[in-house]
Amino acid sequence: MDARQLAGGIRAGRLEPQALEEGFTDLHPPYDDHEALVAADRCYFCHDAPCATACPTTIDIPLFIRQIATGTPEAAAKTILSQNILGGMCARVCPTETLCEEVCVREVAEGKPVEIGRLQRYATDTVMAQKAHPFERAAPTGKRVAVVGAGPAGLSCAHRLAMKGHEVVILDARPKPGGLNEFGIAAYKSTDDFAAREVDWLLGIGGITLETGKALGRDVTLEGLTAQYDAVFLGLGLGGVNALGIDGDDREGVLNAVDFISELRQAGDLAMLPVGRDVVVIGGGMTAVDAAVQSKLLGALNVTIVYRRSQARMAASAFEQELAQARGVRIICNAMPKAVHGNGAVREIEFEFTDDELTPTGESFRLPADQVFRAIGQSLVTEGLPALDGRKIAVEGPGRTSLPGVWAGGDCAAGGDDLTVTAVAEGRDAAEDIHATLMG
């Protein structure tokens, strides 16, 4: 057996290096200067622009596009980054097709929107290439704030607090900062180690200390942090993964999609990353699509997404669904898993058809599988946290929790969409409220 061959047909090196390189190239290549000017010229610069209203971080989109059109991308970048300090990553991963671009006047009239995401990337990439940070710190306030979690919410909060003159310490359980941006985004959406480069650039504001390998509950406690710091922001994300809850869920080859994506993002050589011949992904969100598409790009022969409701109710956008199907991924809807079959390792997975209310129809089928990915949502590890609203931290207004001096935002907090751009907005708004509270 080849050293790269694993049980059940899972193996590495299914494709030649050139095919892997081509598959994992940039999903949306960046504009050059001329392309950006042409794209910006399509904007009507609407007065009450629906695109700006649709943006969770309320970027003044017509203004930054006008700034690009007049040859000042640096000014455009500052317009973007003043509202969304992670505007570079959001330009790459934000579902613009269901947010700003969906309501673009040219989309409504012509079926082709201004490519706002790519224009945003053009502006932010221009500034980051110059290495200079566009913002300066205010005079020191003498206040210290702990931020738990170095993901989009935590980084956004930390940057805004540092800009206000506070000293910030970011604590993160992982060995690298970035959170979802570093570990949970498809590799073809964020190439050239962009997530890490963006974090390094963001920290250039100064006043932020990063401590990795520090987990809440294991290395530090919320009680200890509130005693040591003037305020605490929780941007934990979601650390747990929902189980399938069916017979055989623990068989070899049944894995969490988020772990697969994380391993792929950190892999030094994609040719050494094992993937199955017959891959089944269970779920209907962005994570399911990312896991499925990347399995196909690694050389899996048959890849199928199975979702329990209708395709119209999938959390993944229509663009993401079409992307998967264009890469050869099959999507089966209205089917829920019943059992994983195999002798030790998975060989088949059994499903039962349902209606859209998840009522079983009694008709079942089996798919051959040597690798199954769970992508049915993540959960919050709730021990030692403030009061909850359902399965997430309850918040009021700009992230205030039930504990004085403790704020929360991002995926761990109740009420928002589980999107990078939403997490950035919540971290920013919490920082503004923390600042106002600390300064009296």
pLDDT band at 4 (very low <50, low <70, confident <90, very high): very low
Tell me what pLDDT residue 66 has: 98
Residue 259 CA to chain centroid, in angstroms?
A: 14
Banded model confidence at residue 272, pLDDT cuts 50, 70, 90: very high
pTM of the model: 0.95
Note the pLDDT tens digit of each residue in 76-114: 999 999 999 999 999 999 999 999 999 999 999 999 999
Of the chain, the percentage scoring pLDDT greater than 90 comes to: 93
Q: Output the pLDDT for position 407.
A: 98
pLDDT computed for residue 356 by the predictor: 82
pLDDT tens figures, 321-352: 999 999 999 999 999 999 999 999 999 999 99
Secondary structure (DSSP) of 306-339: E-SS-GGG-SS-HHHHHHHHHTT-EEE-SEEEEE
Q: How far apart are CA 162 and CA 431, in angstroms?
A: 9
Residue 116 confidence (pLDDT): 98
Helix (H) or strand (E) holding 368: strand 360-368
**Long-range CB contact pairs, 189-197, < 8 A, 24+:** 189/27, 189/92, 189/93, 189/290, 190/89, 190/92, 190/93, 191/24, 191/25, 191/26, 194/88, 194/89, 194/92, 195/89, 197/128
Mean pLDDT of 49-73: 97
Q: How far apart are CA 374 and CA 254, in angstroms?
A: 7
Which domains does the chain carry? 33-129 (1.10.1060.10), 144-239+380-438 (3.50.50.60), 241-377 (3.50.50.60)
pLDDT tens readout for residues 398-435: 999 999 999 999 999 998 888 999 999 999 999 999 99
Q: What is the pLDDT of residue 20?
A: 95
Mean pLDDT of the chain: 95
- In the predicted model, is pLDDT for residue 6 greater than 80? no
pLDDT at 366: 98
Q: Mean pLDDT across the stretch 56-78?
A: 97
301-318 tens-digit pLDDT: 999 999 999 999 999 999
Q: Residue 382's pLDDT band (boundaries 50, 70, 90)?
A: confident
| pLDDT for residue 1 is more than 50 | no
pLDDT value at 155 more than 80: yes
The confidence band for 16, taking pLDDT boundaries of 50, 70 and 90, is very high
pLDDT of residue 8: 56
Structure tokens at 376: 């049915």
pLDDT of residue 2: 41
